[in-house]
Amino acid sequence: MMRRFALLLLLAALAPARPPEAPVFVQVVEFPYRQFPRHLWERELTWLRNIGIDTVSCEISGKAPASDPRADPDGLLRILRSLGMRAWVRGSMAAAYEMHLARHGGPIVYTDAQPPPAPVTRLSAVDPAALARSRVALAHGTGTLLWTDVEDRLAPGLRRGAVSLDGEERDGAAVLRRNTELLRGWARTLPEMRQRRSVRVTRSKASAGITAQQIHTAARAGAAALLVRNADGEPRRAALRAFDPATRQRLQLTLDVPPRESLWLPVNVSLARSGLCDDCGVFAPEERIVYATAELRRIEYENGVLAFEFTAPSAGELLLKLARKPSGPLLAAGSPTEFDWDATALQARLPIPQGKGPAHRVRVGLAIEPPDHSAFFSGLRRLISGKSNIVSTTYSSADLAARSRLLAPARYGVKRLPKSDLEVDYEIAVPADAMHGEFVTLALEADGVRLGRERIQVLQPASVFFREAVALHLGRDTKLSLTPAYVPIEAAGGRTLTLVVRNNDPAIQTFQVEFEGESLSFSPQKLELAAGGMMEREGRVRVFAGGAGLHTARIRVSGAASLEREVKFLPLRRGAAAFARLDADGDGVEDWILENQRVRAVFSGADGRWMELVWKDSDANLLPDSGLLPIDGPVEASLDGSAAVLTFAAGRTVRLDGADPVVRITQSKPLALEGLSGGDYGAARLTVERPSPNAAELRLAAIQQP
């Protein structure tokens, strides 16, 4: 027995060691799926994929009520797999998802047992110093950057992130986008950039607050990056002495750095070998970016044009080392621009205009030489899922057209339809389950050479909604769409609503719309709407309810699209309030709605929290992000004359009058209204009266305009 054990030890010692994994830098976004509405998962994960995030982190632990639609980690993993994204799964139940591991074809690449590369840097997307801190993490070359607070969360009140629940991007989203674009080009080079070199900053009043550092690979021809930060609250001009690894000489750079800005500037980046350009193999090894005073996002070379995409918070310049003089012209931000050519040094000096928008994006394109052959997409705008889409292409010669092919995602069907000697149409069948809003890349290729590419968005054929549908307000400026939709209507005479059909197809399409619902009638019951390409078409329908309480209806769309949507209608009598129960915040628990002609109040069914108080004339919410007055225990709703009343078992009563816009709250102990005070809220005026420490009356009124 001992001999056998000794033999096993010997064999283990002789066995080849597992080769160490290559060092990498990983960027991950935390996705709080248990605190994020289920019906928005696909939209937000698709957005993350579109901006370049390919890995998300989530925690799977503990048990959740079966009624909670967010307690669906399997559904989350299916979406990630459909999008081609990866997952870092943490928590006590992660081991139960063995079947979703990457080695079995699933999206899970990291777990607690096999974590992502160390060190892991956690960084809040709403941190004002996020840009500077992210650049420090990048300078490590390897490790993991974990972004938190990217999405709004309901925990249970609103916790703000860089992206709101209604999809609006706040300031932190621009930092995430910028970091992602930078990593898309530099990720392969970062692990090799281990060398550090100090950078001399010429000290003056103009450069106060400027610091700089250079990192580069050990190889002479390796890429380098210059990290420049302005910690001051004022714009600064920096004069720097950087190092050129190719010539071993100093570079004198002058650049303007906006307040609180952190820049990652390229130095000695080979066009052919840097990894920032997939189609630059035609360039010689010595052809390179000597430096640029704006952040380099990516390089493309198509049809004889060398294009650079930059993040440029301020104007800068690009110095290129080339083998021959470019044929020109130079297009900077879409405009023809002059550039300097040094025939002795074989260097082109190109101006970089200041970028536009929060991302400061700008594109600079330089014609290197007239191409021997070229191919282009023509008129391509979008692809429609579940349909065959015609994509037109043109070529510089009949021979090239005959030899070319179109490259599309794996599940897409592609059929070649020759149109003329120089034109080829392709019929592209997009799967019906393709993610709405996802961007995919189509490319033209001949003899293994990419000739042109387009990044194109995939959309569902159509969408349908009522303009009058109500959203849940969270805080002063965030709205959460309700699923199913909710619309209050007049109890007596009904309400005329505007139905909108949005045609996402580039061609004109016709849609048939039919309405049905229990104790509901519609006039008309059917509509036929023709909508122009990528346009909306409105139709009017009047809805009547046959009794009190919440009514459910279905909208069925046929013709150019096939879809069905559910809508909830609540009849309101004039001078009277009503109540309803529906899941407004998407946690699987029905919430309470009290509503009259002027005011709507929503209370959480999970913890009694007062989530919304809306003055309907201006659609303004008066409550803070976190809501007010959480309380445990069951709730009963009733009508008391013209008022709607909620009675909480813990000793609280909430009453919404029918005739007047007044909410009355009483409870068995002192009532604290922290976060809510009287005053003007947009077009509404709130008056708070305290008849006793245990009671409050909240009266709303319109502000009279002079």
Q: How confident is the model at residue 61 (pLDDT cuts 50, 70, 90)?
A: confident
Residues 201 and 237 in one domain: yes
Say if residue 221's pLDDT is above 50: yes
Mean pLDDT lowest among 37-51, 203-217, 556-570, 661-675: 203-217
Mark 145-155 as b/e (b = at least 16 C-beta within 10 Å). Answer: bbbbbbbbbbe
C-alpha 343/C-alpha 371 separation (Å) is 22
Residues 326 and 430 in one domain: no
Residues 176 and 206 in one domain: no
Residue 504 falls inside a structural domain: no
Tokens in use for 202?
Answer: 């010429």
Burial class (CB in 10 A: 0-12, 13-18, 19+), 636: exposed
Average pLDDT value for residue range 428-436 = 97
Residues 263 and 395 in one domain: no
* Confidence at residue 148, expressed as pLDDT on a 0 to 100 scale: 98
Strands (E), 66-180: 86-90, 108-110, 120-124, 143-148, 153-154, 158-159
Say if residue 563's pLDDT is above 90: yes
Average pLDDT value for residue range 663-691 = 92
C-alpha 640/C-alpha 661 separation (Å) is 16
Residues 56 and 135 in one domain: yes
* Confidence at residue 23, expressed as pLDDT on a 0 to 100 scale: 62
Beta bridge partners of 647: 636, 653
Residues 299 and 435 in one domain: no
* Confidence at residue 415, expressed as pLDDT on a 0 to 100 scale: 98
* Confidence at residue 9, expressed as pLDDT on a 0 to 100 scale: 36
Q: How confident is the model at residue 10 (pLDDT cuts 50, 70, 90)?
A: very low
Residue 223 falls inside a structural domain: yes
**How many domains does the chain fold into?**
3
Q: How confident is the model at residue 22 (pLDDT cuts 50, 70, 90)?
A: low
3-state DSSP call for residue 489? Answer: strand
Say if residue 15's pLDDT is above 70: no
Residue type, 108: I
Residue 530 falls inside a structural domain: no
Residues 207 and 73 in one domain: no
Residues 88 and 236 in one domain: no
Residue 163 falls inside a structural domain: yes
Residue with tokens 């995430």: 176
3-state DSSP call for residue 24? Answer: coil
Q: What is the tens place of the pLDDT at every residue in 93-133?
A: 777 888 899 999 999 999 999 999 999 999 999 999 999 99
Strands (E), 468-604: 471-474, 478-481, 485-490, 495-503, 509-517, 520-523, 526-531, 536-545, 551-559, 563-572, 578-582, 591-595, 599-603
Residue with tokens 């946690």: 587
Cβ neighbors of 402 (< 8 A, separation 6 or more) are: none
Residues 159 and 82 in one domain: yes
C-alpha 603/C-alpha 609 separation (Å) is 5
Q: How confident is the model at residue 16 (pLDDT cuts 50, 70, 90)?
A: very low
Q: How confident is the model at residue 545 (pLDDT cuts 50, 70, 90)?
A: very high
Q: In what order do the strands lie in the sheet with 347-352?
A: 195-198, 210-216, 224-230, 262-270, 288-292, 316-321, 347-352, 340-342
Cβ atoms of 53 and 31 within 8 Å: the answer is no
Q: Which of 151, 186, 221 is the last residue of a domain?
A: 186
Q: Which of 453, 476, 495 is the last residue of a domain?
A: 453
Dihedral angle sign, alpha carbons of residues 67, 569, 165, 627? negative
Residue 432 falls inside a structural domain: yes
Average pLDDT value for residue range 269-277 = 86
Residue 311 falls inside a structural domain: yes
Burial class (CB in 10 A: 0-12, 13-18, 19+), 126: middle
More reliable by pLDDT, 13 or 521: 521
Under DSSP, the state recorded for 354 is P
Average pLDDT value for residue range 684-701 = 95
Residues 443 and 359 in one domain: no
Q: What is the CATH number of the domain that holds 410?
A: 2.60.40
Q: What is the tens place of the pLDDT at every residue in 196-217?
A: 888 888 878 778 889 999 998 8
In a 13 Å sphere around the CA of 213, the CA atoms on its Cβ side amount to 13
* Confidence at residue 2, expressed as pLDDT on a 0 to 100 scale: 44
Q: How confident is the model at residue 449 (pLDDT cuts 50, 70, 90)?
A: confident
More reliable by pLDDT, 348 or 328: 348
Say if residue 390's pLDDT is above 50: yes
Q: Which of 453, 482, 502 is the last residue of a domain?
A: 453
Q: Is the peptide bond before 119 cis (omega within 30 degrees of 0)?
A: yes
Tokens in use for 325?
Answer: 């003089």
Residue 595 falls inside a structural domain: no
Q: At what angle do helices 171-186 and 41-51 cross, to 10 degrees?
A: 50
Burial class (CB in 10 A: 0-12, 13-18, 19+), 485: buried
Residue type, 256: D
Q: What is the tens place of the pLDDT at every residue in 155-197?
A: 889 999 999 999 999 999 999 999 999 998 898 888 888 888 8
Residue 41 falls inside a structural domain: yes
| Domain span including residue 239 | 193-367
Whole-prediction pTM value? 0.92
Say if residue 20's pLDDT is above 70: no
* Confidence at residue 314, expressed as pLDDT on a 0 to 100 scale: 96
Which whole-number Å values give the CA distances from 289 to 222, 286, 292, 347, in the listed order? 11, 10, 7, 10
Strands (E), 232-360: 236-244, 249-257, 262-270, 288-292, 295-302, 305-311, 316-321, 330-332, 335-337, 340-342, 347-352
Average pLDDT value for residue range 579-583 = 97
C-alpha 529/C-alpha 390 separation (Å) is 24
Residues 213 and 263 in one domain: yes
Residues 264 and 344 in one domain: yes
Q: How confident is the model at residue 69 (pLDDT cuts 50, 70, 90)?
A: very high
Q: Is 519 left (phi over 0), alpha (psi -120 to 50) or beta?
A: left
Dihedral angle sign, alpha carbons of residues 351, 355, 356, 362? positive
